[in-house]
Amino acid sequence: MRFVLSAIKHETNTFSPIPTPLASFAIGRPDGVPMAGHDAVKALRGTNTPLSAFIDLAEKEGAEIVLPVAAEAAPSGLVSDEAFDKMADDVCEAVRKDCDAVFLDLHGAMVTESYDDGEGELLHRIRKVAPDLPIAVALDFHTNMSPAMAANATVIAGYLTYPHVDTYECGMRCGRTLLQALKGQVKPKIVWDKRPMLTHTLRQLTSVQPLKDILDRAIAAEAGGNVLNASVFGGFPLADIPHVGFSAVIVADDHTSAAEQLSNELLDMAWDRRADFEFDTEPLADSIARAKTLDERPIVLVDHGDNVFSGGTQDVMDTVAEAVGHGLSDMAIGPIWDPKSVTEMIEAGVGAEVTLQLGGKTDMPAIGLKGKPLKVHGTVHRITDGRYKVTCPMDTGMILNHGRSAVLDTGQAEILVCSERMEAYDLGVFRHAGIEPTAKRYLLIKSRHHFRAGFEPIAKHIVYLAGSGVTSSDYSHFQFTKIPRPIYPLDRDMRL
Ligand SMILES: [Zn+2]
């Protein structure tokens, strides 16, 4: 048998000013195109990713692996048509050349210049080439599920964790079901539905309520064999698209009544708890003042308004300015995205004193915010290539790359500055730059929940900072024009 395996992953924040060309899917690659073929198999084998699970399943079946594209870009604005067409064409071309099954590792919240539903359009194009082909799709927990995805996939399974630590297992779950279907052992049918809820990602931690019970119910249903796969998707709220929202996707074996019942049960649980999915924002100055009173180290300060893996620019400086202004010291901060400052530090050299206009290079017109740099003075402490291997439970084994980077020591803080956008979720982000995170009093990072995968085990305290940016948890900063209305909590008094 010949299996086509691919990853095309992007979470699109439609309010983000960061463009998403093909090169964003090929960071660190000199040819500017995403990984493919043997290179991709070699790089992804043994990693905690759905694609790695697909590779293992295909090899176990003795199938020939064709891997036309393994692409992932950090969340940002709309994916360019050129990038989408190139990646979709590569997959369709491989399918056209003879293929017994397709296994896709997708995000589920990709928006392109021309398509609100990137994944739905990709699947639709594959279906046009091969109308009856079995297609397995692994999706991120932050999927905004769509009719086109459900109609064109054979099997769908989503991550059941946030932070996403079950990504390999997710690939196994949908991959195994598809193999069963190929062997004629099951007849997968997708049942799905949604509720009009814009849940806050900061209330989507899967290990605690309101989500824990809902996820446990889905996991138990799948483990008990009542359905083939059961997934719940929290949705990605920073997308002004018609199919945004909270959903459940169940894969039934031929008969769908139990799946319909389960889908309704999961979604009713979520709807009944809708108020618990709202996040109350604490004013930034109050959070910093509170952090100052804490004594045990390290104290992790989490700027959630400018979170890279939700489409943040990673260069908004207001949380850093506030922490510095309040006199916090013994801090590690970063990474801050500012290629210009990295170049200035590299040109000055290790040991040189420099004054930088740090960060704040990016305007955010969708939320009416101008970039505002922060003047900092210090010594260039270290220069790195920005690469390190992930050891935490999320993306374990992957090589992360935030480009040429440098550390500025201001006396009050060691600030890591990078030239490619990458969230801090593995301790390697600081350790590769010679900063030991456990030895610092404060670690100021830009994240939402993914940092928990690496940082929570060492954190004595976690303080959320409501910085400004395009990933703010305050929905009033965003002008939604295409999402379905009414939707909770924008229309608080709505009824179903
Ligand atoms: Zn996600």
CA neighbor of 469 nearest in space, from 367, 373, 390, 401: 367
**Encoded tokens for 422:** 């990458």
**Mean pLDDT within 163-172:** 96
Helix 81-96 and helix 118-129: axis angle, to 10°?
30
pLDDT for 84-114, tens place per residue?
Answer: 999 999 999 999 998 999 999 999 999 999 9
- Strands 405-409 and 374-384, by their bridges, are antiparallel
pLDDT at 449: 92
Tokens 């290079």, located at residue:
361
In this predicted structure, the answer to whether residue 145 has a pLDDT above a threshold of 90 is: yes
**475 Cα–ligand 1 center, Å:** 19
For residue 216, how far is its CA from the centre of ligand 1 (angstroms)?
18
Give me ligand 1 centre to Cα 11, in Å: 8
Residue 162: its pLDDT value, please?
A: 94
Q: How far is the CA of 63 from the centre of ligand 1 (A)?
A: 30
What spacing in Å lies between the alpha carbon of 199 and ligand 1's midpoint?
Answer: 13
Contact between 139 and 156 (Cβ < 8 Å) = yes
* pTM reported for the whole predicted model: 0.95
Q: Separation of 38 CA from ligand 1 center, angstroms?
A: 27
> How close is the Cα of 100 to the center of ligand 1, in Å?
29
Give the span between the Cα atoms of 96 and 233, in whole angstroms: 31
Q: How far, in Å, from the CA of 362 to the mean position of ligand 1? A: 24
- Pairing mode, if any, of strands 399-401 and 374-384? unpaired
**How far away, in angstroms, is 178 Cα from ligand 1 center?**
23
28 pLDDT higher than 90? no
Architecture field, domain 2-277: 3-Layer(aba) Sandwich (3.40)
Alpha carbon of 142 to ligand 1 centroid (Å): 5
Spacing, Cα 108 to ligand 1 middle (Å): 9
The candidate with the shortest Cα–Cα distance to 377, out of 350, 404, 358, is: 358
> What is the 162 CA–ligand 1 centroid distance (Å)?
7
Find the 327 Cα to ligand 1 centroid distance in Å. 34
Nearest to 156 by CA among 164, 146, 87, 165: 146
Q: Is the pLDDT of residue 287 over 90?
A: yes
Whole-number Å distance, alpha carbon 211 to ligand 1 midpoint, is 15
| Alpha carbon of 409 to ligand 1 centroid (Å) | 33
Q: How far is the CA of 236 from the centre of ligand 1 (A)?
A: 8
What is the distance in A from the centroid of ligand 1 to the CA of 255?
Answer: 31
Q: pLDDT tens-digit profile of 216-273?
A: 999 999 999 999 999 999 999 999 999 999 999 999 999 999 999 999 999 999 999 9
Give the burial class of 169: count Cβ atoms within 10 A of its Cβ; 0-12 exposed, 13-18 middle, 19 or more buried: middle
What's the CA-to-centroid distance between 212 and ligand 1, angstroms?
16
Domain ranges of the chain: 2-277, 284-472
Query: For residue range 399-436, what is the model confidence (pLDDT) as tens digits?
Result: 999 999 999 999 999 999 999 999 999 999 999 999 99
Q: What is the pLDDT of residue 324?
A: 97
Strand pairing of 135-139 and 101-106? parallel
Instruction: Please tell me the distance between residue 84's alpha carbon and the centre of ligand 1 in angstroms.
Output: 20
* Ligand 1 center to 143 CA (angstroms): 8
Distance 168 CA to ligand 1 centre (A): 14
* CA atoms within 13 A of residue 258's CA, in its CB half-sphere: 15
445-460 average pLDDT score = 97
Residue 141 C-alpha to ligand 1 middle, in angstroms? 5
pLDDT digits (tens, 9 = 90+) for 327-371: 999 999 999 999 999 999 999 999 999 999 999 999 999 999 999
- Does the pLDDT at position 27 exceed 90? no
Taking each helix axis from N to C end, the angle separating 50-60 and 37-44, rounded to the nearest 10 degrees, works out to 110
Mean pLDDT in residue range 162-171: 96
Rounded to the nearest angstrom, the distance between the alpha carbon of 247 and the centre of ligand 1 is 14
CA of 422 to the centre of ligand 1 (A): 14
| Percent of the chain residues topping a pLDDT of 70 | 100
Give distance in angstroms: CA of 203 to centre of ligand 1: 13
**Which residues have C-beta within 8 Å of that of residue 135, sequence separation ≥ 6?**
101, 102, 103, 104, 123, 126, 127, 152, 153, 154, 155, 178
Maximum distance among all alpha carbons in the chain? Answer: 70
Could you tell me the sign of the dihedral formed by the alpha carbons of 281, 456, 232, 123, in that order?
Answer: positive
What pLDDT score was predicted for residue 432? 98
Report CA(140)–ligand 1 centroid distance (Å). Answer: 5
CA of 276 to the centre of ligand 1 (A): 19
CA 286 / ligand 1 centre spacing (Å): 29
Please tell me the distance between residue 467's alpha carbon and the centre of ligand 1 in angstroms: 20
Q: What is the pLDDT of residue 86?
A: 98
Distance 164 CA to ligand 1 centre (A): 7
